[in-house]
Structure 1
Amino acid sequence: MKNIAIFASGSGTNAERIIRHFAQNPAARVALLLSNRPDAGALGRARALGVETLVVDRETFRDGDRVAGLLARRQIDFIALAGFLWLLPPELVHAYAGRILNIHPSLLPAYGGKGMYGDRVHRAVIEAGERESGITIHRVDEVYDNGDVVARYRLEVRPGETPESLAARIHELEYAHYPRTIEREIMKL
């Protein structure tokens, strides 16, 4: 059985969907939720579902070898970022090369990069008059939102769309596709 670590900074709705998806899966399970924020809602969601949690401060996290060691001691095979806002240190990216996925709420490379997350992305999409948006699931490298694309799912931006309404529709795409994409990637290991 493969062990998954989820990295999350926010409320944890995607993390919860991933945990629930793998709860009865014989091939993999979520063994750890790591957060950089002690007040992240993702921590409570993970604990409620019986998943070990770990909070790391910036100094600890910047030491990629140390974080990779923490994960290795827990026999983590795969990392899924779910609203995690810090750039991963190169040592961690190399230790888990090809085994880290991220989900981004736009059709990358558009509206990606440092500082482009959540409602900022949706607002930028609407202000630019885009006709479509969606999600991009990609491998993680040393640059924000830069790794190889694994999957994209699209939706039409509706007339009169607000950042809030677009976010709600984007979340539905995330919930439907991210756990299954993670599963497909783990099956390749």
Structure 2
Amino acid sequence: MLITVETSGIAPSLISGASSFSGARLAVLASGRGSDFQSILDHIRLGVLQSVEAALLISNTPDAYAMERARKAGVAVEYIEGVVGKKYPDKESRIRARQAFDAEALRILKQYGATVIALAGFNQIVTPVIIDEYRMRIMNIHPAYDVKRYGGVGMVGDHVHEAVLANHEQYSGCTVHYVEAAVDLGPAILRQLVPVKPGDTVRSLADRILVWEHRSYSKAIQIHVDGQFERRRDLSEQ
């Protein structure tokens, strides 16, 4: 059963999308502590990220600290019961549960007038229910530079860094990309190399990459909002 709990306290005029703001209305989907989300909020507040309004946070985890960050910043918060960690009789049932989640999320996204979506530590696979509606307007950040080797289903969080260290890579990094059905393999907006240092542990490497995640996500959102990605793609096709 999907449960949506509205905790925003935002005026109805804003919930309907009737804001006077003319820039991009950003919705963030997060499942955990929300450090990437916080960096986006900070960059908006400082004017580093321009023509972007944080309109909404959606979480699939009832105790996600990202929701508290949103409330403190005056950003609308919505919770939808997620599918991660639940048992289903078969793969098809799990897919249907994800689709049902995304249908409810899509309804909320439209309700708030979201024009662009950022997945920030969101631990659930997004289905075409949302992807098709927000194609080339929904993005994700992945903690690896080489997403073909260190991306895809199961390559999340510390698993990525463990694999990088096990293969004795000299570099890792992060990639901000548009979301498509193939997990982590949508068009890359921005990629950042981060060196792997002698003696690195999973934690030390993860912390170093996280610093660059915080810088890279806002930069990638700005690239999208300014239309730089589309112009770059048009030039490459000429």
- The bucket for the TM-score relative to the shorter chain is over 0.9
Match of 2:220 among 162, 171, 181: 181
- 2:130 aligned with 1:92: yes
Q: TM-score if structure 2 supplies the norm length?
A: 0.75
The runs of 5 or more residues in structure 2 that have no matched partner are 1-22, 84-96, 231-238
Structure 1 stretches of 4+ with a deviation exceeding 2 A read: 23-26, 58-67
Deviations along 1:13-56, whole A, 9 cap, x unmatched?
A: 00011112123565111110111101111111111111111111
In the alignment, what sits opposite 1:8? 30
Matches of 2:166 and 2:34 in 1, distance apart? 27
Q: Does the C-alpha gap of structure 1 residues 3 and 130 become closer, same or farther in structure 2, counting only changes over 3 Å?
A: same
- Residues of 2 paired with 1:26 and 1:168: CA distance? 27
Q: Which residue of structure 2 lines up, in the alignment, with residue 76 of structure 1? A: 114
Cα distance in structure 2, aligned partners of 1:41 and 1:117: 19
1:37 aligned to which of 52, 57, 61: 61
Letter in 2 for 1:11: R
Note the residue ranges of structure 1 that are not aligned, 5 or more in a row: none
Percent identity over paired residues: 36
- Distance of 2:111 and 2:197 partners within structure 1: 47
Name the larger-Rg structure: 2
Counterpart-to-counterpart distance in 2, 1:66 and 1:9: 16
CA RMSD, 1 decimal = 1.7
Secondary structure at 1:134 match in 2: strand
Instruction: Give the partner amino acid of 1:54.
Output: E
Aligned length: 189
1:158 aligns with 2:180: no
Aligned mates of 1:22, 1:138 — CA distance in 2? 20
Match of 1:62 in 2: 99
SS of 1:88's partner is coil
